[in-house]
Structure 1
Amino acid sequence: MARSLEERQSITWEACREAVLLGPVSHISAVDMWKVERPSQTNFVSDKLHVTVSDPRLSRLSSPDAYVHCWSGLDSRHIRYTTDGIGVLNAETTWALMAKGTQVDGLTELGESMIRHGRTTESKLRDFVEHETFQCKAKCYDALTLMDSRSDSPKETQTRLCLYSYGLWGFTSNYSVPGISFDNGAAITLDLADPELLIGIEYDGDHHRTDRTQWRRDAWKRRQLESMGWTVVSVTQLDLSDEPHRAAFAMNIAAIRARKLGRPIALSTPLPWRKVACRMRRMRRI
């Protein structure tokens, strides 16, 4: 993933050097320039650069090099410059303007990626939403509600949001299990955990299978956790690939919770993200 981010940044940077830009680099192009993961679902295509201008007359000009967007609130506060003078929207502005063509889950994923890579903070994103005027503010507020700055990868974010969409709450991201560690003293963590019921969820990318050392480390870790009463569930891309697989994954987690609690667990049909965010806000007020 790190190599892919480097490559995307390099390709976009080179395109910027060769193009005539009417404004600062923005949207999916700015995501690449900031070297963070793109949201898995977005309507913004990347066959050309994206730039943003404040003058609507400029946005109506045809450019062979870029898609030209218009945001009347744009000023110098929102722009950062590379060492060779290329203007790029700052991380907060990039995130907020991506909301127009990105669903709440993708916006949540992007925000967490920017935080994880140190490009911004949750408080800076919230401050931008509260004080700037732009489209899709409500979507940004919903994404902020769903964000967890402890998430360690986009796939972990997608896994957590899958559970949220089915009404399964109470999972902690990147949870350090107390009372146990690796031989070198490193903490044993779980991508997602319900510490009360001792349920752990681990997203296994291909390297967990193809890297022999990683595979052995994972197997040892799960044996130790299971000896302490944890139930550890492995998740792969297949589990997140479409709605039937996502539903099966959610039903599996609900069944484990029901077994540990000794009572049935209600599972909703996939909820719209607005409802998921509203429920989370209500739970936080209780």
Structure 2
Amino acid sequence: METPEDLSDPGNAWDNAPPRANKYPRDVLHVVVRAFGERHALPGIRMHVWKGLTADFVQRFANGVQCLRPVAAWVSVAMDATMLQLIQIAESMERYGLCTLADLRAFAGAHRFHGKRRCLRALAIARPGSASVKETELRVRLELRGLPAFAINYVVAGSAYDSRMEHTVDLAIAQYRVGLEYQGDQHRSDYRQYRRDREKLGAMAALGWSVFEVTQEDLNSAEALDRLAMRVACVIARQDGAEPRVARLTYARIADPRRAA
């Protein structure tokens, strides 16, 4: 699954820097030990001390190798990952079946470790059901611009392919019939996929939906995301009469449960 290094691309470069931005070579093996005296200088290995490490944080494989449990591995990167990366990895761990967001919340709430507040804040924003780290990034970055919460992989009633499989949209604000689709390279290079996309967007437009397609180039540009957020805000404003605007919210703000209320 994804690691912070895998997510260090231009699309994440805008995000808040982690408390300690340690940069390791990508081929370094990270090892956790319980005490400073257990550390050794070995080529290709970076050793970290976790004084609170206990046996229930660890799983042992049949060959004797010991590894952190997924929930412990996630909190172990709390001080080296950005807030967006923590959210992306948490959702990814559930997507890959390693653990659930509820498992992460239970572990983070029950133990002491560096970065606990950051983890709890990330878990207040993370949601189940995302299909990719790019969809997570798109959703979070638009919520930071003041847009309402999005439904994930929303099924559009009354819209379907010829096979009768219902159309879904990556992110949706259903009450305003506005959706977002993240389009990876395969959506442009695969002709059949391209035709399916055009069919779906046409069917949804006939039902009154406004669907915006987003690419990596949009994620790489703060200005492009501002324009996208404003377009979505304008769709909403046409229906509820509010003045469209783009905000600048913090992670603490979008993690606050009072915001939804």
Scaled by the length of structure 1, what TM-score is found? 0.81
> Aligned residue for 2:237?
258
Q: Give 1:58's match in structure 2, choosing from 14, 38, 59.
A: 38
Q: Distance in 2 between matches of 1:37 and 1:169?
A: 27
Give the share of equivalent positions with the same residue, in percent: 33
> Aligned residue for 2:13?
none
Q: Return the letter of the residue paired with 1:276.
A: I
Asked if the contact 2:91/2:130 (under 8 Å) is kept, the reply is yes
Q: Return the letter of the residue paired with 2:46.
A: Y
Q: CA deviation at 1:259?
A: 2.6
Secondary structure in 2 matching 1:99: coil
Over the aligned positions, Cα root-mean-square deviation in angstroms equals: 1.7
Q: Distance in 2 between matches of 1:37 and 1:249?
A: 26
Relative to its length, the structure with more helix (as a share) is: 1
Scaled by the length of structure 2, what TM-score is found? 0.88
Q: CA deviation at 1:82?
A: 3.9
Q: Distance in 2 between matches of 1:187 and 1:95?
A: 35
What runs of 5+ residues in structure 1 fail to find an aligned partner?
1-35
Asked if the contact 1:91/1:119 (under 8 Å) is kept, the reply is yes
Q: Distance in 2 between matches of 1:251 and 1:86?
A: 51
Q: CA deviation at 1:50?
A: 0.4
Secondary structure in 1 matching 2:127: coil
> Aligned residue for 2:3?
38
Q: Distance in 1 between matches of 2:63 and 2:221?
A: 43
What is the number of equivalent residue pairs in this alignment? 246
Asked if the contact 2:226/2:246 (under 8 Å) is kept, the reply is no
Asked if the contact 1:105/1:273 (under 8 Å) is kept, the reply is no
> Aligned residue for 1:161?
140
Tell me, yes or no, if structure 1 residue 277 matches structure 2 residue 252.
Answer: no
Secondary structure in 2 matching 1:101: coil
Matches within 5 A, 1:1-286: 36-39=1-4, 40-41=7-8, 43=21, 45=24, 46-59=26-39, 61-269=40-248, 271-278=249-256, 281-284=257-260, 286=261
What runs of 5+ residues in structure 2 fail to find an aligned partner?
9-17
Q: Return the letter of the residue paired with 2:158.
A: G
Q: CA deviation at 1:83?
A: 4.5
Q: CA deviation at 1:73?
A: 1.6
Asked if the contact 1:53/1:71 (under 8 Å) is kept, the reply is yes
Q: Return the letter of the residue paired with 1:282.
A: R
